[in-house]
Chain A
Amino acid sequence: MKTANKKVTAERLVRDALEKAKHFADYNIFTFLNEEGAIKKAREIDAKIAKGEEVGRLAGVPYALKDNFLSREGETTASAHILEGFVSPIEATAVKKIEAEGAIMIGRTNLDAFAHGSSTENSYFGPTLNSHDKNCVAGGSSGGSAVAVALDIVEFATGTDTGGSIRQPAAFNGIYGLKPTYGTISRYGVVAMASSTDCIGFFTKTPEDMDLLMSITSGQDSKDMTTLPDYYNEDSEMSSLADISSLRVGVIKDFDNESVDEEIRGALKKKCELLKSKGCEIVELEMPSLKYALAAYYIIVPAEIASNLSRYDGVRYGFRAEDSEDLDGLYENTRSEGFMPENKRRIMIGNFVLSSGFYDAYFLKAAKARTLIINEYEKAFSKCDFILTPVSPNPAFKLGEKINDPVAMYLEDMMSVSLNLAGVPGLAIPAGKNKTGLPLGLQLVGPRRSDKKIIEFAKELI
């Protein structure tokens, strides 16, 4: 990634990025452009460079911030009406870490409100368009971030992945998108969707950039009790890739059927051939529990969503509905007007599965299914080093195609959510294009804490 130096200033990099952002305004990528703030920061960095001071590994690199990360610049809205006007007094740990290395946020990117969705169509600010076909969705929920990187506006963008929200838009736009091992990057200061599956990650154009960002942002944070000690920057068996010819790569038989787009299956086969030519062994895996993943996910995640969204009540910050008769009215009106239909659907499902009398039948059962899935991945990784699968059953679909069919939309996530339930890492990698020119994507999956190895291995798949 291009960093600033004496010849190419940070201000130049930032101005170029801002210009491109404006040029692609019709893609509806940004909810906020940080013109003033970004240029000011760029000048500070240039001044340091001129004086020969230390500027960090991301000096002057323009980046885009998914709008569910708290930062002091601009409003943090999560693309939701109910957070309109909310200016955060604090910044997310991840933001702090990348900005300490000199990266400059040029804008906040669009998402499905509160990251609920797989197309960025559920945004209060309207959908983001696909980088390769304006009639198609960007994918979601981190659609804005994916398109910002795919259109080369920025060097990288942040994302959150609760059930595929980084990997699927990365695949839809032909770039790299990593969902790290659960707990690798602090969630502090990121608007929560589902606490037990939320992961912070990035979109990049190369595996090398991904590695750099991971080495900067990984590590334990006292503000997030679920973070892991920094394994990423530690030399261990988990971080160094063995000789390629000794590696076994698993493919999941259960996904090799007509429910998955033919061209995507073709792309997967092509990559397998490539790996075989390099000496890898391809192992066929049966993972029958994965068929419960989507159902378990759409119970556990809405439950946590309903809970995490309880704080948006119009009492302390953000949007408050006017003219309510009493307290209940204030809650009802604020939340009815402030949430998008998909938010409300998930709140209702979540509250239903948690309500007394249904908890055991739904939530508890889903939690058990989750354990089965965790065990199944463990078993799988005793037979292979990585798993290579499609990210989604199809490439980018048309705008509006699935927005009124929630089940079809949820099926988008059928191959991505099991990773979140199991807490294992997955990297979306580009795998060519289909006949109509839309990108195809695959994901590389590894055991927990194998993030660095996955990124290394991805270089072999280019």
Chain B
Amino acid sequence: MKYTPTIGIECHVQLSTKTKLFSEVDNDARGKEPNSCVSPVDYALPGMLPRLNGEAIKFAIRAGKAMNCEINRSSRFDRKHYFYPDSPKGYQITQFYAPIIGAGYVELPSGTKIRIEHAHLEGDAGKLTHFDSYSLVDLNRVDTPLIEIVSMPDIHSAKEAHDYCKELWRLMCFAGVTHGDLYNGNMRFDVNISLAPEGAEKLGTRAEIKNLNSFRSVERAVEYEITRQTKILDAGEKVVQETRGWSDATGKTTPQRSKEEAKDYRYMPEPDIPPINLTDELIEAEAAKLPLMPVDYRKRFTGSINNDILEILLDYPELMRKMSEIDEKYIKSIANLFTSVLLAEEKSVEYLSSLPDAKDLNELAQMNEQKELSSTATKEVFLRLFDPQMKGRGAKNIAKELGLMQENDLGALEAIVDAVLAKSETKKAQDDFRNGEEKVIGFLVGQVMKESKGKANPSAVQEILRKKLS
């Protein structure tokens, strides 16, 4: 039978605020010793009280606006209780009853809109590393601010699930609220998926796949689940409602050893944090801080940049911001340089932090257009523009210093051509050409290029050669 998959996704985004959600400790524990970014509040000493980080509230507003969401004027925090060493307080502070971010939607590159049910702020848990007879606890991540974004079940394929996650990631990165480092768990996805016979109104029983941390694993896990659940339903059996884990290595989901029945988190209003009341002014001020978003760039560049290239560039907010400063007529060539040269570099990530000025890029594109630079020379100068030591020197000066300027002076070119034609080793080729062997022109152009040490403009050379040999 044919089935329609229905998918909803919960996404946790770690916010890149300076300090943690409830304490003044450094929120950036990258490369730091375990348990070195922990305050008495995070450690849950007796008598410690949370202090809400105002920056996290502002980030949440921006994140919400990036997803076209309502921002709730009044929201509050709740406690979610469970015992585990990754949770020093014995509860997580989250927003169960009144979240800060209300309904909205995310528009995929395909134009499909995935509705957002709500998104809320909460503190992250610590990290446990298990060994044979003991476990180590690292509390650096405790109460790193997270927003959990809950989608409506509007997704119906593995590809769409992939695209939704990726688009969320882009939105959060463009909004500047997260480092967006998936490898280090800055964004994590929980996928709910169920299958129902095509056309059926009632949804099937869902399985939840927890803790996916790449778009690719989201896509593969959904594909796997669709196949698995299809087999179960085709065999006339029932899908079990459960939490499953995904393994990239085996490419399979497996039931996670979950505790008997559903957990009871005994939610309770957080009495230590007064309700958050937001003014329209604050919300508008934060919304105004949002830069151009992917949807804006798509509108702006569709037509001038090929779609595939545009979608690649949209993974890099820095590049898109730069693109918006490029002269209209050079957009296509700079986009090509970004994708085919810059992103092909091994250290492209490092390069992203030292992008050249738009004026240099414009100059470079202009030189290429006016045939002052060959395409090889353009690529070389382009990469040199990222060198911090070359900053401010300008594309033209760099090209000159490197001796890459193309020779366009016809008089000078003619002299070089004459010199080449005078050489005995070109005589045969000259005769062959006169006898109609068209392709030897390439050899002759090559000889001239060699003589000019690569600076001659090849098409001009060819023109001169043809004239001389006719």
Chain A residues within CB distance 8 Å of chain B: 68-70, 76, 78, 83, 86, 88-90, 92, 187-192, 194-196, 222-226, 303-304, 306-307, 309-313, 315-317, 327, 331, 351, 354-356, 359, 363
Contacts and interface: CB of A to CB of B under 8 A. Distances in A.
B91 to A, nearest CB: 6
Given A225-B52, A310-B81, A310-B83, A90 B45 contact: yes
A355 B44 CA distance: 23
A226 B274 contact: yes
A225 B50 contact: yes
26 contacts: A68-B46, A70-B45, A70-B46, A89-B45, A187-B47, A188-B47, A188-B49, A189-B47, A191-B46, A222-B51, A223-B49, A225-B272, A226-B271, A226-B274, A306-B81, A307-B268, A311-B89, A313-B83, A313-B85, A313-B90, A315-B88, A315-B137, A354-B268, A356-B266, A359-B267, A363-B268
A311 B44 contact: yes
B264 interface: yes
Contacts of A309: 90
A194 B267 CA distance: 15
B273 interface: yes
Given A316-B88, A351-B266, A363-B268, A78 B46 contact: yes
Interface of B: 40, 43-52, 79, 81, 83-85, 88-91, 137, 264-268, 271-274
Contacts of A310: 81, 83, 89-91
Contacts of A89: 40, 45
B244 to A, nearest CB: 23
A316 B83 CA distance: 13
A242 to B, nearest CB: 32
B400 to A, nearest CB: 59
A81 to B, nearest CB: 14
Q: Is the interface of A mostly helix, strand, loop or mixed?
A: loop
B266 A354 contact: yes
B56 to A, nearest CB: 14
Given A196-B271, A226-B272, A303-B268, A92 B47 contact: yes
A308 to B, nearest CB: 9
Contacts of B51: 222-223, 225
A86 B46 contact: yes
Given A187-B49, A224-B49, A327-B85, A355 B272 contact: no
A316 B44 contact: yes
Contact of B266 (A88, A190, A355): A355
A89 B46 CA distance: 11
Contacts of B81: 306-307, 310, 354
Of A92, A187, A304, A311, most buried by chain B (CB within 10 Å of CB) is A311
A184 B81 CA distance: 29
Given A225-B52, A327-B85, A331-B83, A76 B46 contact: yes
Nearest to B270: A195
A225 B47 contact: no
Given A78-B46, A226-B272, A304-B271, A315 B85 contact: yes
